Structure 1
Amino acid sequence: MDAQDSEDPKQSTADMTAFVQNLLQQMQSRFQTMSESIITKIDEMGNRIDELEQSINDLRSEMGIEASAPSVPSKPKDEPKTGNDPS
């Protein structure tokens, strides 16, 4: 019985190691799947934003509003400080 008792901890450790490795592999697989899904959704959102931007530009053209008056300023308000530049 002593030989059997000395084998049980080793077998138990091996079983636990295999279980943990399998669990980690499953988690890695799930995280990889989730990561790919998130990246795909971000790409889709980027495409939809591009399409929306194009639609807005098309509507502006139809209305006679040129792209020279963007709804989002191209330069931050902090930039026009050339008069205070010491150089």
Structure 2
Amino acid sequence: MDGHDADNTKQSTADMTVFVQNLLQQMQTRFQTMSESIISKIDDMGNRIDELEQSINDLRIEMGQEGSSSPSATVKSKDDTKSADDSA
């Protein structure tokens, strides 16, 4: 009977090893898929930000405010100062 129990233990250990290896492989695959999805979304967000910046610059040029000091720039400076104070 001792030999039979040893065989069962070896088989159980082998089964557990295979199970853990499969589980780790599944986790790695899911992590890779999620990583690729996140990177894709970050790239898309970056492209949208670039497009938004270009649209804002185009609007500023159309309004003739390119390079000049505008009231909105002053307000932005105050908001930036306020944000810096809030984080301190």
Q: Same fold (TM over 0.5)?
A: yes
| Structure having the larger proportion of residues in helix | 2
After TM superposition, list the pairs within 5 Å mapping 1:16-55 onto structure 2: 16-55=16-55
Task: Name the amino acid aligned to 1:11.
Answer: Q
Alpha-carbon deviation of 1:5? 1.3
1:59 counterpart residue number:
59
Number of residues of Structure 1 aligned to a counterpart in Structure 2: 74
Gaps of 5+ in 2: 78-88
CA distance in 1, matches of 2:29, 2:67: 47
Task: Name the amino acid aligned to 1:58.
Answer: D
Q: What is the root-mean-square deviation of aligned Cα atoms in Å?
A: 1.8
**Structure 2 residue matching 1:66: 3-state secondary structure:** coil
TM-score scaled by length of structure 2: 0.74
TM-score scaled by length of structure 1: 0.75
Gaps of 5+ in 1: 74-87
Percent identity, please.
75
CA distance in 2, matches of 1:58, 1:66: 9
